[in-house]
Amino acid sequence: MCVMTAPDRTRLPIDVRSATRDAQSATGAATVSPPEPVVPVRPPSGAPNVVVVLVDDMGFGASSPYGGPCRMPTAQRLADEGLRYSRFHVTALCSPTRQALLTGRNHHSVGMGVTSEMTTPQPGYTGYRPPSAATMAQILGGNGYSTAAFGKWHQTPPAEVSPSGPFTRWPTGEGFDKFYGFMAAEMNHWYPQLYEGTTPVEPDRLPEDGYHLSEDLVDHAIDWVGTQQAMTPDKPFLTYLAFGATHAPFHVAPQWSQEYAGRFDVGWDAIRTQTLARQEELGIVPTGTELGPWAEGVPHWDELDEAERRVAARFMEVYAGFAEHTDAQVGRFVNALEAMGVLDDTLFVYMLGDNGASGEGGIEGTFREHLVGHGLADDTAYMDARLDQLGTASTYPLYPVGWALAMNTPYQWTKQVASHYGGTRDGLIVRWGNGIAARGQVRHQWHHVIDVLPTILDAAGVPHPDTVNGFAQQPIEGVSMRYSFDDAAAPDRRTTQYFEMVGNRGIYHEGWTAVTRHGTPWLMVPDGQRSFDDDVWELYDTATDWSQAHDLAAKYPDKLRQLRELFTVEATRYHVFPLDDRVTERENPALAGRLDLHHGRTSIVLGPTAKRLGEDAAPDVKNRSHVITVDLEADVDAGGVLVAQGGRFGGWSLYCVDGTVAYAYNRYGLDRTVVRSRRRMSPGSHTVAMRFDYDGGAPGSGAGITVEVDGTAVAKGRVEATTAYYFSFDESLNVGVDRGTPVSEDYPPVRNAFTGRIERVRFDLGADASPQSEAERLRARLAHQ
């Protein structure tokens, strides 16, 4: 007879042949049994489906279930049918939270001390997840789950986001059977650049056809679960649905933002007060909680003039519409699970933020996010004149700092600031119809994002494996939260947690927090650098001061000293040192010291179909002289793009219009320079070149431009200032077409392919002295820690 044996789940993958064995018959007679079919691996009986939904850049006080002004009825429904956690924490930036979520380890432990496009060679900051830290998908998939990821990934080393791979650190290489989404930090919701698995794909519709990225992601998620259930209804699934919303750019159809018309005219100070009152009513914070101190340098509402208030209010209307639209898509997914009859068998984890609300839009807010990222403020008059465009494809918006502070009510500071709860405390809703008896309750146990994975493994009844794919596993650093599901009074099982992000530091221990803010999030290119030794540490007793409103450092110096020493111990243990406070500068691969995909080659040839090369994978033309040469076959009235990098909000393009050649340089969407020939090319073979003669000096200096056809200069011009650090997070370099938004308004988005034929594109790159000097400066700074 066939006797089922329990598989060894501590060693993954499980050998499916060990799931059955032949045994003697009940009579004990020696018999020859027929071969048994291979039994597929399945998790223990009763293991739930798992859904993890992650909203980007949403503060603790933004959503209606947490007292905020953004209506999120799906989140409210799930909270009413499950649990809300009031003291759940993340890491203060995107990639680090995601890596911690999927591995159950602290972000520095798995090399993700910062975002993937800010990584450096330092051990805690490489951006390479070690094979000793298997992901949620690898563990659940190895135990018989179907696995799929949709939306934002933002964990693959940028140099590997190219057609040459390797693909082992893409979603499908990290345990997900299916991936549909984007690899970058953020994405244009009207013109996204997406991947199906590892293959670049284009949406089948445009914005004018009703396309929106969030809707597209949920369409694919519903289709996948439906197919999975039709084929293998006995097999549980893991769905990781990570929205690009509500990260910049704030893109949403006008009917969503119009629902909030006039709602925010009262200003951020009033909204903050209103939100705290609702939070007390909901039991999200204790009665008597105070608002944390207002951030220095940020104006109060009554300090703004009429135009500034008008612009700021409209930003928040668009953001609120964006948030509600996102929640509506989650609602479609929840309804689909319910219609399939699997919702109550699903552990549904809804994370309302991967960090605090973003203050990276600057004091004024911005229609062009990369402006502020490079240290430039947007112009209020410019924005005021275009308020009807806010949220459309002509904008790349992010709201003012004041709204970020209000969306983090009642806490201090914003995203990036890992020291204070405004950067690290977010909403968490957990629903499991057949696994949690409590309904509509609040849990006050103190937890961290690294606790999500062990909670899921606990619910599924599977252990953390000792080995995965032959690699011994480093310990899970999180603890299961399941003990709190049906016991509101259970004592905390997480009593210590360090925090660090771009030099901002903190430590939580048994109710106390010691914190120091090193930088200001909206000053990503600061003038000069502050020594870490000059940072001022604060002390808070969060058992009595929920919102870190009263600094007790002067009153309890011994306690502060004890916690600072504990931070050093934890930071050393988890590879936090050496500290590095650079932000935008590290987004330039040369200045960060990241792997050069081209290994220092100064001559790079791309074929006619090269596409989707991100900032680290493309030839680096920033801050250096270079020549781009295109060998082509022109048709009559040749038009379209020869080669382009970036898009409407930063980049460059070499293209043709009615047989003439032009080069456009777009700096942050702020100013565009077009150097255009008046001489038409005849049909036939030609060599088109663009010579970029860089002035030298500080990053972002000017350059002379010469456009040539067949060795003859046909146009000359000058760019007075260039892009210093990065062209774009969401767009890429492509040959023969400008994918996504257009660098130049001389041609349309998406449908701008070159009408002739391209043979090859060659980049000849001049010397760039800046990396050496920047590397020396960094070594000097690190030596003084």
Return d(Cα 524, Cα 725) in angstroms, integer: 11
Tell me what pLDDT residue 3 has.
47
Residues in contact with 220: Cβ distance below 8 Å, sequence separation at least 6, in sequence order: 150, 180
Q: What is the pLDDT of residues 5-15, one digit of tens each?
A: 678 999 999 98
Last-in-domain residue among 449, 479, 501: 501
Which pair of tokens denotes residue 261? 């018309």
The answer to whether residue 287 is domain-embedded is yes
Q: What is the pLDDT of residues 465-498, one digit of tens each?
A: 999 999 999 999 999 999 999 999 999 999 999 9
Tell me the C-alpha to C-alpha distance, in Å, between residue 351 and each of 57, 452, 565, 656: 11, 10, 32, 47
* Mean pLDDT, range 384-409, rounded to an integer: 98
The owner of tokens 């010397």 is 767
Q: What pLDDT sits at residue 59?
A: 98
Q: How far apart are CA 402 and CA 414, in angstroms?
A: 10
The residue from 501, 519, 540 where one domain ends is 501
Residues 297/249, Cβ–Cβ less than 8 Å:
no
262 shares a domain with 136:
yes
**Dihedral angle over CA of 370, 125, 532, 247, nearest 10:** 30
Q: Does the residue 782 lie in any domain? A: no
Query: What is the distance between the alpha carbons of residues 388 and 397, in angstroms, rounded to a whole number?
Result: 13
User: Going by C-beta distance under 8 Å and a sequence separation of 6 or more, which residues neighbour residue 712?
Assistant: none
Identify the helix (H) or strand (E) that includes residue 130.
none
Across 14-39, average pLDDT? 57
- Residue 272 and residue 257 in one domain: yes
Cα end-to-end span (Å), the chain? 68
Q: Pick 558 or 523 by higher pLDDT.
A: 558
Percent of the chain whose pLDDT exceeds 70: 94
**479 and 527 inside one domain:** no
> Which has the higher per-residue pLDDT, 30 or 718?
718
Beta-bridged to residue 83, according to DSSP, are 430, 441
Assigned domain for 304 exists:
yes
Query: What distance in Å separates the CA atoms of residue 501 and residue 506, rounded to the nearest whole number?
Result: 9
**DSSP one-letter string for 573-618:** HTT-PSP---SGGGGSHHHHT---TTTT-SEEEE-TT---B-TTTS
Q: How many whole angstroms separate alpha carbon 127 and alpha carbon 112? A: 5
DSSP H or E stretch at residue 240: strand 237-242
Same-domain check for residues 290 and 426: yes
* Tokens representing residue 633 in the block: 């076959």
Query: What's the burial of 61, exposed, middle or buried (CB within 10 Å: 0-12/13-18/19+)?
Result: buried
CA neighbor of 323 nearest in space, from 633, 598, 70, 636: 70
**Residues 479 and 513 placed together within one structural domain of the fold:** no
Residue 596's pLDDT is 80
Q: Are strands 504-509 and 496-501 parallel, antiparallel or unpaired?
A: antiparallel
Q: Give the residue-averaged pLDDT of 423-441.
A: 98
In angstroms, what CA-CA distances link 331 with 157, 210, 238, 506?
Answer: 33, 19, 18, 36
Q: Quickly list DSSP for 539-561.
A: EEETTT-TT--S--TTT-HHHHH
**Pick from 472, 480, 464: nearest CA to 139:** 464
Tell me how many degrees the CA angle 321-322-325 measures, rounded to the nearest 5: 80
Residue 712: the pLDDT is 97
Quote the longest CA-to-CA distance of the chain: 96
> Residue range 373-380: average pLDDT?
94
602: preceding bond cis by omega (within 30 degrees): no
The helix (run of H) or strand (run of E) holding residue 194 is strand 194-196
Instruction: Judge if 461 and 341 occupy the same domain.
Output: yes
- Residue range 131-151: average pLDDT? 98
**Residue 747's closest CA among 660, 640, 669, 614?**
640
- What does the pLDDT read at residue 420? 98
Number of domains making up the chain: 4
Task: Write the CATH number for 458.
Answer: 3.40.720.10
Where in the sequence is the domain holding 423, given as residue range(s)?
49-501
Question: Residue 411 in contact with residue 357, Cβ under 8 Å?
Answer: no
The pLDDT confidence band at residue 592, using thresholds 50, 70 and 90, is confident
Cis ω on the peptide bond leading into residue 254 (within 30° of 0)?
A: no
Contact partners, residue 348, CB within 8 Å, separation at least 6: 51, 53, 78, 82, 334, 429, 430, 431, 432
Residue 612 domain flag: yes
- Residue 234 exposed, middle or buried by CB count within 10 Å (0-12, 13-18, 19+): exposed
Within this chain, do residues 57 and 22 fall inside the same structural domain, yes or no? no
Rounded average pLDDT over 376-389: 97
Are 158 and 229 contained in the same domain? yes
Instruction: Quote the pLDDT of residue 598.
Output: 84
Q: Where are the alpha helices (DSSP H) in 206-305?
A: 213-231, 254-258, 268-282
Q: Check whether 109 has a pLDDT greater than 90.
A: yes
Residue 577 maps to a domain: yes
**Together in a domain, 321 and 446:** yes
Question: Does position 514 have pLDDT exceeding 60, yes or no?
Answer: yes
| Joined tokens for residue 545 | 């001061």
Tell me: the pLDDT tens digits for 398-423?
A: 999 999 999 999 999 999 999 999 99
Q: What confidence score (pLDDT) does residue 20 get?
A: 47
220: buried, middle or exposed (CB in 10 Å: 19+, 13-18, 0-12)?
A: buried
Do the strands 178-182 and 146-152 form a parallel or antiparallel pair, or are they unpaired? parallel
Is residue 275 located within the same domain as residue 363? Answer: yes
Q: Taking the complete model, does pTM exceed 0.85, yes or no?
A: yes
Rounded CA separation 99/88 (Å): 16
Same domain, 575 and 468: no
pLDDT beyond 50 at 25: no
Residues 205 and 289 in one domain: yes
Residues 619 and 598 sit within 8 Å (Cβ to Cβ)? yes
Residue range 192-251, pLDDT digits in tens: 999 999 999 999 999 999 999 999 999 999 999 999 999 999 999 999 999 999 999 999
The residue ranking higher by pLDDT, 529 or 28, is: 529
Candidates 673, 675, 641, 676; CA nearest to 660 is 676
pLDDT value for 674 = 98
Q: Is pLDDT above 80 for 148?
A: yes
CB-CB contact of 128 with 566 (8 Å):
no
User: Checking phi first, is residue 29 left (phi over 0); if not, alpha (psi -120 to 50) or beta?
Assistant: beta
Evaluate whether residue 785 is within a structural domain: no
Residue 571: CB atoms within 10 A of its CB come to: 19
Of the CA atoms within 13 Å of residue 782, those in its CB half-sphere come to 15
Mean of per-residue pLDDT scores for the chain: 93
In 3D, which of 48, 113, 43, 96 has the Cα closest to residue 349? Answer: 48
Per-residue pLDDT at 1 exceeds 80: no
Which of 440, 467, 501 represents a domain boundary (last residue)? 501
pLDDT band with cut points at 50, 70 and 90 for residue 2: very low
How much is the pLDDT for 18? Answer: 58
780 domain residue, yes or no: no
pLDDT of residue 129 exceeding 50: yes
The answer to whether 606 touches 735, Cβ cutoff 8 Å, is: yes
Residue 447 forms part of a structural domain: yes
